[in-house]
Structure 1
């Protein structure tokens, strides 16, 4: 083997999601395969290579080896390689093909660009029989073929379809066995006081003791953050969760991605008392509960950050404050969330409700302006104005749906016409079969003219696999009237339409003046086209 290096040709770098190794021999073989591919005819079948690994180790088939093997297979079968969908560190059991970053983009958006999907081995492609069944249905719908380097798979034959199903069943059984082993390991781990596997709860980290055993130790920065939060929560004038987040992020004790809900979830975790916990799946709220050992007592895995008294008093305060919060609104309190943007700071406008002297008030506020800016009262009035403005601009636009059109039939018809034209042109040459009598010549010339007209009338685009936009008979005004503000909000977010809210203080008036500016992308008509999900449950 040649000396391995981590550099690649400039054109090929960035192709993989993680860094991989190419040798000089690998690059030489790649160039040789590309030169052979350049000699293929223009109408050669187009191949997409799918490369996947769950974990990149020395014992696995490297992505470089997978790609080269698949390129060799493509050369043997006369396929032109149009792309490589590389998804590394991705589990085939957990992530189906259409949800992977690279392959999913090809399947959902670039289907017209390839004819055959090549993969190294079936378990490199899928590990669930249901996923395989969906992919077979998708390939049959879109006229694609599945080909494996190391399995007898070919969707163009009945035997190939049966073989795919059998191999897929074996792969699913293997995946199920792996899942059972992992679940068994977790069940065993939960009963042990030693830390064997898993991610520690916030406040702790793993370390090695003097005997080389992995143990949990307290993260001192996290401990300071947690104790400060407890003190800030239990004092006479308690700090809000939002206020605590700002202080912790500004101090550097927590990262900028911390949210109020995440902080509250950390403060409610009984693991802070040093006990082993597991997820509590009852109630629909993300919480953790203590795991009891064989003696019906909590299993201690680390030194406590909070004593039991400290933790219980903290929970009492959080529970008491939680009862004062307004009930969660189904679908969220803010309509058009992500569409309404603050003109000054650029963050989302959200509804915040307050109660003063028994009267409820609602304001649209932003995230970065001081105290949420001046606040925009009467959110419903802003919603109504936004709806009116959107309907004036986009309401009469037709609802277009993206549909897939195959060019195989049109290509066959084009080929038939070209062969027929060639046949009659040859027959009309001096001494040809149609020149023996005036009648046969006239009839042949008439037929030839008709064939040429048919050939000229064919749309060149019809011979290609392509996406087309089809009008479903409705306008967006009708669509939004049927679906309400939720449907309009979803479409505006998808398209990229935004409404900037500018609040100007008016002297002597408590409520500011509200100015709304609607921004619409130039390619809004293309963005409005609805792309149906082929991999939804109904498929």
Structure 2
């Protein structure tokens, strides 16, 4: 039976271009709406538009239509649009608003820049009741409003808050029903001999038979690579050698690793079986799914025979190394911070056992044989700590906090109204001009009010982020919380340390040189940003 390969890669699926969707009529309407915004007063409410789309179909509302509808809504509410957070190909069920690329940046870092968050429909915004509750709580805390174009939702009213919760519950039920249907489909597909859904294992591609049904076919290039790797394994060649050759030949991707190659070579799917993944001790393994008769379910032609697969596994086992168990938290401190100066990969601790004892030393990943081994990793850690404390130890620990300017704005408004009143009554014929005493008292009060108004920093009238000093330096913080806290802070702000190992004549251990790589804006990066949504997980 003939088969036709089916192209299911992402690049071959229907691509969506927002720019291509804008028609001349849409652009004309957009320009008209922007002109209407230009005449709004400076203190007009600021609106952020949230646009989301998981999959574009004929039934979905395009991002262009969502944006235009929301701009019209903003005009009706007298709001100025300050930004559009457009997150396409994003599932509202899987990704909450604060984790989306564009909307998440506005919520976590740019919240002082808007007053209202407008979205087209509730299910375009969230599909989980817990996510909706989190957003309502956040909005009330930050003084923001949530408004839907196609649902009667407005957080400024009690009825609106109740309606949001009810509709959010319905959205969560719909999402749960969808999840149940998908789970049921996967459970059914795993028991069938026909290929129904899923991503094929390495070595196979989806195809169609003469009747149009989906089937699995062998990928010729992958088959060539797998059989070559098997021959190399039988000859005793290392997996690292195979990875280098396969990447150089282009038969496997440039991101291929030894672990990935081992997982592919040991996958029972190469026998044509349906498999599922299981995790044992942190390792990912694939195992064959058994049918009702207790035998593996076959869904594809074999790449290896059973004899070839067994001899391959035996060959791989011969070169398998028995590593000592890792300590809790991992064997390497400052992981992701210590980098090899030559290959720029992470330095990790290798442990070797022999008849003379156990040895720990630092190695990199891409240098030949891991580069020169740097013994005594603890000494390296101590030098890193010393260098970091010398450069950053006296920096103050600052926490970014959200400061609202509503109270200051009210005070400014009160002062301006009082000043206007006194100025009016001090004009000829005003009540403060009837006697010299009342005039002098009113002028003194007016000067005082003007002085109070001038003393107010205009920046404090804005919603903004402020950095608050907690009274500690980073030296004190790290002394209290330990090296793990220091490592976490260094990794967070992008500080790295290059390790150079130089051969020393007539010496077994190399000379180790460390160089800290510190970003220019390290002081700003060190500011601790509290996560408003951390409790949502």
The alignment's TM-score, normalised by the length of structure 2, stands at 0.93
Contact 1:400 1:472 in 2 (8 A): yes
1:462 partner SS: helix
Matches within 5 A, 1:281-292: 284-292=282-290
- Confirm whether residue 108 of structure 1 aligns to residue 108 of structure 2: yes
Q: How far apart are the structure 1 equivalents of 2:134 and 2:282?
A: 30
Contact 2:18 2:63 in 1 (8 A): no
Q: 1:367 to 1:281 in 2, by over 3 A?
A: closer
1:411-460 C-alpha deviation (Å, 9 max, x unpaired): 11111111111111111111112112223222222221221111111111
- Confirm whether residue 120 of structure 1 aligns to residue 120 of structure 2: yes
Stretch deviating more after TM superposition (99-108 or 478-487): 478-487
Match of 1:349 among 344, 347, 350: 347
Contact 1:17 1:86 in 2 (8 A): no
How far did residue 224 of structure 1 move? Answer: 2.3
How far did residue 294 of structure 1 move? Answer: 2.7
Q: Which residue of 2 aligns with 1:232?
A: 232
1:270-328 C-alpha deviation (Å, 9 max, x unpaired): 21211112233665532222222233322110012223333344445555655612323
Aligned residues: 522
Contact 2:134 2:536 in 1 (8 A): no
Q: Which residue of 2 aligns with 1:430?
A: 428
How far did residue 153 of structure 1 move? Answer: 0.9
1:537 partner SS: helix
1:183-203 C-alpha deviation (Å, 9 max, x unpaired): 121122112111111110111
Stretch deviating more after TM superposition (294-303 or 422-431): 294-303
How far did residue 74 of structure 1 move? Answer: 0.6
Q: Which residue of 2 aligns with 1:469?
A: 467
Q: How far apart are the structure 2 equivalents of 1:414 and 1:304?
A: 79
Q: How far apart are the structure 1 equivalents of 2:176 and 2:272?
A: 33
How far did residue 217 of structure 1 move? Answer: 0.8
Q: Which residue of 2 aligns with 1:60?
A: 60
Q: Which residue of 1 aligns with 2:200?
A: 200
1:286 partner SS: strand
How far did residue 260 of structure 1 move? Answer: 2.0
Contact 1:46 1:113 in 2 (8 A): yes
How far did residue 383 of structure 1 move? Answer: 0.7
- Confirm whether residue 361 of structure 1 aligns to residue 359 of structure 2: yes
Match of 2:369 among 368, 371, 387: 371
Matches within 5 A, 1:288-437: 288-316=286-314, 318=316, 322=320, 324-437=322-435
Match of 1:247 among 197, 220, 245: 245
Q: 1:430 to 1:46 in 2, by over 3 A?
A: same
Q: 1:23 to 1:17 in 2, by over 3 A?
A: closer
Q: 1:454 to 1:146 in 2, by over 3 A?
A: same
Unaligned runs of 5+ in 2: 1-15
Q: How far apart are the structure 2 equivalents of 1:523 and 1:354?
A: 41
Q: 1:110 to 1:292 in 2, by over 3 A?
A: same
Q: Which residue of 1 aligns with 2:46?
A: 46
Stretch deviating more after TM superposition (150-159 or 260-269): 260-269
1:194-217 C-alpha deviation (Å, 9 max, x unpaired): 111111011111111222221101
Indicate the RMSD between aligned Cα atoms, in angstroms: 2.0
Q: How far apart are the structure 1 equivalents of 2:297 and 2:455?
A: 79
Contact 1:18 1:88 in 2 (8 A): no
1:235-291 C-alpha deviation (Å, 9 max, x unpaired): 4x341x333222211121110111222222222322121111223366553222222
2:432 partner SS: coil
1:105-142 C-alpha deviation (Å, 9 max, x unpaired): 11111111111111000000000000000111111111
Contact 1:428 1:434 in 2 (8 A): yes
How far did residue 68 of structure 1 move? Answer: 0.5
- Confirm whether residue 219 of structure 1 aligns to residue 215 of structure 2: no
Q: Which residue of 2 aligns with 1:148?
A: 148
Unaligned runs of 5+ in 1: 1-15
How far did residue 538 of structure 1 move? Answer: 6.3
Contact 2:393 2:473 in 1 (8 A): yes
Q: How far apart are the structure 1 equivalents of 2:329 and 2:280?
A: 21
Q: Which residue of 1 aligns with 2:496?
A: 498
Which fold has the larger relative contact order, with Cα–Cα distance below 8 Å and residues 6 or more apart in sequence?
A: 2
Contact 1:20 1:64 in 2 (8 A): no
Match of 1:273 among 271, 274, 281: 271
Contact 1:97 1:103 in 2 (8 A): yes
Matches within 5 A, 1:93-104: 93-104=93-104
